[in-house]
Amino acid sequence: MAATRSRTSSFSRNQSTSPLSQIPGIKPGPNGVTYVSSGIPDLDKILGGGFPLGSLVMIMEDAEAPHHLLLLRNFMSQGLVHNQPLLYVSPSKDPRAFLGTLPSPVLSKDEKSRGSIDQEQEKGLRIAWQYKKYFGENQQNSDRNATEYCNEFDLRKPLERHILNAQRIECFSIQESPSLSAFRDRCSSFVTQTSRKDGGTISPGRIAIQSFCAPQCCYSEMEWDMLSFIMSLKSMVRSSNAVAVITFPPSLLSSSFSKRWQHMADTLLAVRAIPDEDKELAKLLTGYQDMVGFLHVHKVAQINTQVPVILEATTFSIKLQRRRSLVLERLNQAPVDGSSGSSHDVSGSCSGGSKSSILDF
């Protein structure tokens, strides 16, 4: 014990003393930022911890496929698992119906597999027993945080009823409110509720707005009003304990408005589906058959800092592992087939193909 304690530098932050770390679902980050999980463990890792509290996350939708819903569902489910209040806004007539499609967390099996991993490590470490204490401590810490902070979700299993019923979930259909001011009032009342401290504990609120500029909302004539709504939502969220996620189809906006929307976002993601039978891409990428789409990270939130976050890769493949859990992976270029000829080789490695030029490795 004394050995492990002396190992930690006096300059490192003592995480256990921070009151925030005791609340599940919240993780302190650098620069006084507090993270909540996005519901996808890989995305949390990519973004350096998750979505910062007080930030506005925007997801650009694919025009043809509902991949943004994968991210939105996991984000909402994760909040419900952590017992956080949720405001869901949708252009559909009956937003509550969407709650039935939320995935449920993987629990028992996950813990089992984790246990087996521990056992394996135990065996492997017997040889280098003197390093065991180092490994053991780290492993335990990260494990405990991981299980509490971010769950894996089984997309095939719907969230259990009792979780849905126990929560403070507000649903709102944009279709029913032709003016944005009612919508804004709804958001501001939700945000003020979450910023109030209930018995000393802070439970961060999550706002999920689906397909904000969809034609059903009848806001298509009100481009500036939508922008000003986003601006006020951003300032509302910034001064509170909430995260807002907005998905929008950029193809419905003119290019300059789409840029304006993108500038509003603290964290900007884009999802894109991949065509079913794209032979070019299939040759280019390994594991193509498991992929359902791509995730682009355009911008990572820069709160309280001027240093931009530079990721190793900005494009990730979205995969469904064993058809149930969502996994993000960096793109791996397939080994070039020798028989395919040199001309194809060149076009492949430079990603010069017309379809793959949008990807970067």
Partner 1 sequence: MQVFITSPISLERHLHRASVFARRVILIEDQVETSGAFVLHHLIKRSLSIESSEIVIFVALSKPFSHYDRILRKLGCNLVAQRENGKFIFIDMLKLECPDGDEGNGVGGGLIDLYRKIQKFVEVNASTSPELNRCITVMMDDLSLLEVAAKGSSTYVLDFLHYCHTLTSENGCSLVVLNHSDIYSSKTGSTLILQMEYLADVVVQAEPLVTGLATDVHGQLTVLNKGAIDEHGGVRSKLHNFHFKVKENSVEYFYPGSRA
Binding mask of the shown chain, residues 266 to 295, with x at each position contacting partner 1 by CB under 8 A: --x---------------------------
CB of 127 to partner 1, least distance (A): 36
Asked if 187 and 87 count as a contact pair (C-beta separation under 8 A), the reply is yes
Q: Is 72 helix (H, G, I), strand (E, B) or coil?
A: helix
Nearer to partner 1, 195 or 262 (CB): 262
148 binds partner 1 (CB under 8 A): no
Upper half-sphere CA count for residue 171 (Cβ side, 13 Å) = 16
Which residues, 320 to 339, sit near partner 1 by CB under 8 A?
A: none
- Residues 103, 140: Cα–Cα separation, whole Å: 27
Among 305, 340, 349, 357, binds partner 1 (CB under 8 A): 305
Enumerate the β-bridge partners of residue 58: 246, 268
Among 6, 9, 108, 256, binds partner 1 (CB under 8 A): 256
Instruction: Calculate the dihedral angle through the C-alpha atoms of 123, 126, 132, 138, rounding to the nearest 10 degrees.
Output: -10
Among the residue ranges 193-201, 250-258, 279-287, 342-350, the one whose residues contact partner 1 (CB under 8 A): 250-258
Among 106, 303, 320, 334, binds partner 1 (CB under 8 A): 303
Alpha-carbon distance values, 93 to 12, 74, 172, 345 (Å): 51, 22, 9, 51
The values of phi and psi at residue 16, to 5°, are -70, -25
255 binds partner 1 (CB under 8 A): yes
- Residues 27, 52: Cα–Cα separation, whole Å: 9
CB of 172 to partner 1, least distance (A): 21
Nearer to partner 1, 76 or 268 (CB): 268
Among 139, 167, 195, 262, binds partner 1 (CB under 8 A): 262
Phi-psi region of 323 (alpha: psi -120 to 50; beta: other; left: phi over 0): left
- Strand arrangement of the beta sheet that strand 51-52 belongs to: 27-28, 34-36, 51-52
Binding mask of the shown chain, residues 227 to 246, with x at each position contacting partner 1 by CB under 8 A: xx--xx--x--xx-------
CB of 228 to partner 1, least distance (A): 5
Among 304, 321, 332, 357, binds partner 1 (CB under 8 A): 304
307 binds partner 1 (CB under 8 A): yes
Nearer to partner 1, 146 or 309 (CB): 309
308 binds partner 1 (CB under 8 A): yes
CB of 218 to partner 1, least distance (A): 18
DSSP 188-250: HHHHHHHHS-BTTB---EEEEE-STT-GGGS-TT-HHHHHHHHHHHHHHHHTTTEEEEEEE-G
Asked if 152 and 106 count as a contact pair (C-beta separation under 8 A), the reply is yes
# of chain residues touching partner 1 (CB under 8 A)? 33
Q: How many CB atoms lie within 10 A of CB 164?
A: 15
Nearest to 209 by CA among 235, 173, 255, 240: 173
Q: Six-digit token pair at 125?
A: 């470490």
Nearer to partner 1, 130 or 255 (CB): 255
Which residues, 8 to 47, sit near partner 1 by CB under 8 A?
A: 31-32
Among 167, 177, 195, 302, binds partner 1 (CB under 8 A): 302
- Residues making contact with partner 1 (CB under 8 A): 31-32, 223-225, 227-228, 231-232, 235, 238-239, 254-256, 259-260, 262-263, 268, 298-299, 302-308, 310-311, 314, 360
